Amino acid sequence: MDWVRSWRAALFSLLEDVPVHLRPLVASISIDGTSATTLIVDRNTGEPLWRPFLYNESCPDALPTVKSVAPANHTVCSGSSTLCKLVSWWNIEESNKKSALLLHQADWLLWLLHGKLGVSDYNNALKVGYDPASDSYPPWLHSQPYSQLLPSVIAPGTSIGNLKEDIRTQFGFHEDCIVCAGTTDSIAAFLAARATQPGKAVTSLGSTLAIKLLSTTRIDDARFGVYSHRLDDKWLVGGASNTGGAVLKQFFTDEQLQKLSEQINPMEASPLDYYPLKAVGERFPVADPNLVPRLHPRPESDVEYLHGILESIAHIEATAYNLLKDLGATQVEEVFTAGGGAKNEKWTKIRERVLGLPVSRAKQTEAAYGAALLALKGAQHHSC
């Protein structure tokens, strides 16, 4: 799969999809991308020097090196962190080190729009080691030879510059349209839900399960895959599991999921105990690259099987929120749901029972809506 080409094509097809009469009215654009999806590009041309490292890829070969330089249990001390991906590339590559630059998926796509290479945001940069509390890369990272690849970092939603002239002309956007620093997909989903009080949480049920809890306390512990993103003066504490919708799609079509879900009694506990993963390896609430998927025994009834998988994912979610509480985060009081799984009302009821908390669908469940809110914030600041 040529990921880079497909991302670029998707971006420009989305610009094409904006109705022609609305294009001159677009004031600002921002993008969310999957956290820790990493590109190594040429710092002069922006063209990738290596295939992208996807968010869920692990680089255990780099972990000893990263652990030897980073503080104990730091966010980067996980095989799937951006820093592990950078170090893994650095150890393999011989020739292109001087001309190389690290960008995240959202950074690179935004660069296609604004043309200024080497800009990231403090949400995407967290897993490469950026410290959002001090707003800088820490000395232990700066002293490494590969630190020369690190991008400059600004706050999400900050204006980077105007939309490139050739794109403005091609699509008919206004000459004052700006491009703003982006964020990660789960933070964008959190912003979309507009959960503004500590104790409010958002579970994103997309291809994976990501949770974010608004907390007054910052928690970072790589032993459990827990990390905190800055959100203005508070912290978004959470992590992302490899369980989620991608596992369901292995067994059921969207139509089957809908029909089978209708037959589930969500108030009845399933006796099946699974750990649904698409492949070996988990990031959170257990960071274990060797954790094996558990999806057997499979009952004859597809309804029972789906019930068991949905309930098992709910138990992983509950374990995750309990872990955050044990580590000292603000206690969760209410959960909003984003992502495709938010549409499944039976699953929402199962999760409510398992979590023992009010669970509801966020009014806006698309991460893209959160990215649009960031763009709005950038446009408002830019016009002040």
Over the stretch 183-230, which tens digit does the pLDDT of each residue have? 998 889 899 998 889 999 999 898 999 999 999 999 999 889 898 999
Backbone angles phi, psi at 94, to 5 degrees: -110, -45
pLDDT band at 351; cut points 50, 70, 90: very high
Residue 181 near residue 121 (C-beta atoms within 8 A) = yes
Provide the strand spans (E) within 96-151.
Answer: 100-104, 119-121
Nearest to 189 by CA among 179, 177, 201: 201
Span 105-111, mean pLDDT?
98
How far apart CA 178 and CA 17 sit, in angstroms, is: 19
pLDDT digits (tens, 9 = 90+) for 283-310: 999 989 999 999 999 999 999 999 999 9
pLDDT band at 96; cut points 50, 70, 90: confident
pLDDT at residue 116 tops 90: yes
Residue type at 224?
A: F
Residue 296 CA: distances (Å) to CA of 81, 216, 278, 305: 30, 40, 13, 9
pLDDT at residue 383 tops 80: no
- H/E stretch holding 213: strand 209-215
* Residue-level pLDDT at 276: 98
How far apart CA 317 and CA 15 sit, in angstroms, is: 36
Q: What is the DSSP letter of 53?
A: B
Higher pLDDT, 365 or 92: 92
Domains of the chain and CATH, by start: 3-186+368-383 (3.30.420.40), 195-362 (3.30.420.40)
pLDDT at residue 94 tops 90: no
pLDDT at residue 178 tops 70: yes
On the question of a cis peptide bond just before residue 297, with omega within 30 degrees of 0, the verdict is yes
Return mean pLDDT, the chain. Answer: 95
Residue 30 near residue 372 (C-beta atoms within 8 A) = yes
Share of residues in the chain with pLDDT > 90 (%): 88
pLDDT digits (tens, 9 = 90+) for 130-166: 999 999 999 999 999 999 999 999 999 999 999 999 9
pLDDT digits (tens, 9 = 90+) for 18-28: 999 999 999 99
How far apart CA 379 and CA 50 sit, in angstroms, is: 34
* Residue-level pLDDT at 366: 86
**Three-state SS at 47:** coil
**Three-state SS at 100:** strand
* Residue-level pLDDT at 186: 82
Span 353-366, mean pLDDT?
93
* Residue-level pLDDT at 54: 96
How far apart CA 241 and CA 323 sit, in angstroms, is: 13
Angle CA(167)–CA(171)–CA(174) in degrees, nearest 5?
80
Residue type at 364?
A: Q
* Residue-level pLDDT at 384: 67
